[in-house]
Structure 1
Amino acid sequence: MGGDSTQFSAAGITRRIRDGELSPVEVVEDHLEGIRERNERTNAFVTVAEESAREAAVEAERAIEDGEPLPPLHGVPVAVKDIDDVAGVETTHGSRLLEDRVADADAAYVARLKAAGAIVVGKTNAPEFGVGTTTDNRVAGPTSTPFDLDRTAGGSSGGAGAALADRLVPLAPGSDTGGSIRIPASACGVYGHKPTYGLVPNVDRPNAFASHTPFYHVGPMTRTVDDAALALTAMAGPHRDDPHSVPATDDYLAAVDRPIDDLRIAYSPDLGIYPLEPAVRETIDDAVGALERAGATVDAVDPRLAHDREEILEAFYTMATVRWQATLDDLEDRGFDPRDEDRDRLHHAFVETVLDAEPPTVRELTRADVVRSRVFDDLQDCFEEYDLIASATLATTPFPHGEPPETIDGVDVGPRRGWVLTQPYNLTGHPAASVPAGFVDGLPVGLQLAGERFGDADVLAASAALERRRPWIDRYPT
């Protein structure tokens, strides 16, 4: 029956394909049909690669008929964020400057997912050049959370979060420089895992070292923790063209089934420095209580960060501005003039955030690195005693398009990033995930779980334990 396979997880799809209950052709057609019927609701996809997806599905079916060994994601549909390349498919970066660009090669993690048997069915929406905590651009427009179509899906991987929550695909990786996996995961009620920095390679050229300012991560976004472990296993590991890539040392699939009786969790809903909406705090309290009932030791402990949220955000912006200015330089190398003649073709949010930003001095960048070092040391001190730090992912629930909060619980915050608790872990490179924690007035809330560097297995284990205690798979809109 058409559409049935859209209800399954990635692990469920590949298992049924191996058992002969589903064919890759049927699975791809089901998901393409779902995209045709429902994408208009959320605007999750900006490009649908129907022809190439069907061709890949036929090849996957032929491999089964020929008795070939099947890779772990054989026949699983995957969506790729529109700032990452898929060979032969448009990659616009959400910008009118690049709306006709077609990639000639796969991004490193895309190549690994394809090698693992996944089939790319299209590209998901993102803000222009991935800059933003919500998803809107002048090419495709805004993306909504399926829980309320008038509200944001978050960003910058908002299209991925919406596609997952609306069951358009079971796997949609995201990228994360300041929360871009975890923010939409929280806003769309899905699971988003930002791995340890370097665990999933990023082959960046012409600057191979660009991803450390601030730490840029690629990681899985899924509806189940098991699927995230499956995808991370396929994506992780060293790459000869990424000088920051590191080995994958853990069995992520085994971590999903691991008991958490030995885990110690430091619980700080606001990380000691962020305001939270009271209802969000209550929801997070409840979710952490479920982790304690699952066997973990939970203590109310603030990580005692030496810097407040404004200082951390200023350090983040200093580093991010360096990265964003490099984006402008790259556009100029491509023949555009974003700082002058092409300025009017850019989204106003990109102009305000990037073009109007004063490039930092060397001294300012050095000072930002000092702040970064202190935050890292403070978190490491906490990880001396605890395996994980639990907090809210966002200070609020998804808000109406174009109306970010200016105050949280009576405290003035910056509307662009003052409502997110994700930046510290982009300064330090620790793994961090957003786990569906519950709902406030029908809108999803995410619990952020962060671990020691290379502690991804602990993050996955705790996430899966929460999923077993409080399953969320049947809470998505239909």
Structure 2
Amino acid sequence: MKRGQMEEVVMGMNLSRRTFLKSTAATALVAGAYGAGLRPALAAPELAKMDGLAQAELVRNGEMTALDLVNAGIERVEQVNGEVNAVVTKFYDRAREAAKGGLPQGPFTGVPNLVKDLDNLAGTRATSGSRLFAENISPETDPLIASDEQAGFVMLGKSNTPEFGLLGTTEPLLLGPSRNPWNLEHSTGGSSGGAAAAVASGMVPLAHATDGGGSIRIPASCCGVFGLKPSRGRIYLGGRSLPGDIGVQHCVSRSVRDSATLMDLSEMKGEKAVLAPIGRVEGPGKKRLKIAFNTENYYGVEPDTDVKAAIEETAKLCADLGHEIVPVKNPVDGRAFIDAFLTVWASGPSQLVALAKENGLDPEEVLEPWTVGLAKYYDAKPADALEVSLKHFAEVTAKTNAFMADYDVWLTPVLASAPPKLGQQAPTVAFDTLYERTVDYVSYTPLHNVVGTPAMSVPLSWNDAGLPIGSQFAAPLGGEKVLYELAFELELARGWGEKYAPVFAG
């Protein structure tokens, strides 16, 4: 992006953060597992364990009111958020007033939700995890958040995120670190770390999330929840697309059916549709899939031993279910890819530093060291670096699409390790050290943002220390239906919905 393009959307200090964020988110058996036999006088643990559709059904049946659901959600946030720090801005009065009013009638009417603090809900604080926007108030509501409210969700607050979503861990200096409900000393992943931690700890059954380089799948893997990144163009995000816009939005959830139902409500249909709509996916598919499988990342390096064992076990599970597993080599040259990716990734921070200076601010006082370091990284590049990187994106996309055309699904790890301890990837770590740690750790997810292909993290494994390890499945562009059908099948086979973190509301 050139400076002129930026100035079009910034409007002084009240800039549109959305521009940066885009460029830098059932079967009867399953239904039974998420809320069978519950009645109005629900104990907190029972309600916390229900998915969103089960909670909404209580309202439709007259067993609870929307206000009951919202108040229960607020109680759960207050119970565990002090330990987890997933919710960083609360607007309980707004939520209660919405629940008292005439909520839109939909599958999720009355269900509490959260807005990731990279997005806008009119009249509420929107920091992007940055001191630069510590007091920023959104003048408008972003399209997907408006769509979520039309589905009947009631937003309780904003979920924690790293500054501008720029890291694979959620440890912003402004908001404080979000802590993993499975072990409070460990990272929730990023950048939708607050959203995933809130779901994993039972605050809300699902939460809004965004993904520009793995930011749905990484925290889903770290927190043991389900997270699917849709195809680019599947969901309308508003505005015009700028070069390097690789971000998408959807949610993280405990149940597959919540995610699949919300996808049906969110995807573009009719004349606006960029891709053929998938509609409501409600259970496993019958087709046996041809699944490409590798554990090496795009550098040709294996993940940690526990991750490798977990993904191999996932491959065995898929084979036991009748799918064909085909060992493959990663088709991407990792070093060339990551140089191009980080060049595009760092272009936003470069403009943020320029913006701070233009407004008489010291970038190092209002932006984190990692953000400033990315800006310096970008500014040291040749003048045509962004153009060259976008060209490389096109080449990688063509090569990956050709590779994936031979398979229904591609199985890899989500991350090179289980969730690291807090501090290891904090934005204050020396830039060169953090660079190496980040590009090694997050070496499976960014490819699908660049190519635009759908991909999901499925919570199938926990290591000996009790930390979650997700399995990443990707499909060719527009292949969300295949992924959801496989996810339903894996959910029935493994039943992760009845596995709860040590820090859990109720």
How far apart are the structure 2 equivalents of 1:418 and 1:225? 29
Q: Where does residue 438 of structure 2 map in the other structure? A: 416
How far apart are the structure 2 equivalents of 1:227 and 1:121? 18
- Listed one character per residue, the Cα deviations across residues 267-322 of structure 1 (whole Å, up to 9, x for unaligned) are 112255343011111111112222222232221122433x1x22211110111122
| 1:470 Cα deviation from its structure 2 partner | 0.7
Q: Where does residue 313 of structure 1 map in the other structure? A: 338
Q: Where does residue 241 of structure 2 map in the other structure? A: 209
Cα distance change of structure 1 residues 99 and 193 upon mapping to structure 2, 3 Å threshold = same
Q: Where does residue 214 of structure 2 map in the other structure? A: 179
How far apart are the structure 2 equivalents of 1:380 and 1:129? 29
Q: Where does residue 345 of structure 1 map in the other structure? A: 366
| 1:53 Cα deviation from its structure 2 partner | 0.6
Q: Is 2:37 aligned against 1:11?
A: no
How far apart are the structure 1 equivalents of 2:356 and 2:69? 38
| 1:413 Cα deviation from its structure 2 partner | 8.4
With 438-447 and 6-15 compared, the bigger mean Cα shift is at 6-15
How far apart are the structure 1 equivalents of 2:69 and 2:162? 29
How far apart are the structure 1 equivalents of 2:359 and 2:177? 25
Q: Is 2:284 aligned against 1:262?
A: no
Q: Where does residue 46 of structure 1 map in the other structure? A: 88
- Aligned-residue identity in percent: 28
Contact 1:135–1:155 (CA under 8 A) maintained in structure 2: yes
Contact 2:453–2:474 (CA under 8 A) maintained in structure 1: yes
How far apart are the structure 2 equivalents of 1:100 and 1:330? 17
Q: Where does residue 152 of structure 2 map in the other structure? A: 117
User: 1:246 aligned to 274, 277, 298, which one?
Assistant: 274
Q: Which amino acid aligns with 1:10?
A: G
Q: Where does residue 451 of structure 1 map in the other structure? A: 475
Q: Which segments of 5 or more consecutive residues in structure 2 lack a partner in the other structure?
A: 1-41, 427-433
- Listed one character per residue, the Cα deviations across residues 317-342 of structure 1 (whole Å, up to 9, x for unaligned) are 1111223334455667xx734xx524
Q: Which segments of 5 or more consecutive residues in structure 1 lack a partner in the other structure?
A: 64-68, 406-411
Cα distance change of structure 1 residues 292 and 93 upon mapping to structure 2, 3 Å threshold = same
| 1:369 Cα deviation from its structure 2 partner | 2.8
- Listed one character per residue, the Cα deviations across residues 2-27 of structure 1 (whole Å, up to 9, x for unaligned) are 52422210111122221222221111
Q: Which amino acid aligns with 2:72?
A: D
Q: Which amino acid aligns with 1:419?
A: Y
With 417-426 and 258-267 compared, the bigger mean Cα shift is at 258-267
Q: Is 2:467 aligned against 1:467?
A: no
Cα distance change of structure 1 residues 8 and 377 upon mapping to structure 2, 3 Å threshold = same
- Listed one character per residue, the Cα deviations across residues 226-260 of structure 1 (whole Å, up to 9, x for unaligned) are 111112122221699x9xx7255112x32x41324
User: 1:436 aligned to 459, 476, 479, which one?
Assistant: 459
How far apart are the structure 2 equivalents of 1:330 and 1:462? 45
Q: Is 2:64 aligned against 1:26?
A: no
- Listed one character per residue, the Cα deviations across residues 32-62 of structure 1 (whole Å, up to 9, x for unaligned) are 00111110111101011101110111124xx
Contact 1:160–1:221 (CA under 8 A) maintained in structure 2: yes
Contact 1:236–1:247 (CA under 8 A) maintained in structure 2: no
How far apart are the structure 2 equivalents of 1:198 and 1:323? 21
Q: Secondary structure at the match of 1:122?
A: strand
Contact 2:234–2:267 (CA under 8 A) maintained in structure 1: yes
Cα distance change of structure 1 residues 41 and 12 upon mapping to structure 2, 3 Å threshold = same
Q: Is 2:99 aligned against 1:57?
A: yes
Contact 1:201–1:238 (CA under 8 A) maintained in structure 2: no
Q: Where does residue 8 of structure 2 map in the other structure? A: none
Q: Is 2:231 aligned against 1:231?
A: no
How far apart are the structure 2 equivalents of 1:84 and 1:292? 40
How far apart are the structure 2 equivalents of 1:133 and 1:51? 32
Contact 1:303–1:378 (CA under 8 A) maintained in structure 2: no
Higher relative contact order (CA 8 A, sep 6+): 2
Q: Which amino acid aligns with 1:352?
A: G
Contact 2:159–2:194 (CA under 8 A) maintained in structure 1: yes
Cα distance change of structure 1 residues 303 and 343 upon mapping to structure 2, 3 Å threshold = closer
Q: Secondary structure at the match of 2:207?
A: coil
Q: Where does residue 409 of structure 1 map in the other structure? A: none
Normalising by the residue count of structure 1, what TM-score does the alignment of the two structures yield?
0.88
Tell me how many residue pairs correspond in the alignment.
450
Cα distance change of structure 1 residues 91 and 430 upon mapping to structure 2, 3 Å threshold = same
Contact 2:225–2:254 (CA under 8 A) maintained in structure 1: yes
Q: Is 2:348 aligned against 1:323?
A: yes
Q: Where does residue 167 of structure 2 map in the other structure? A: 132
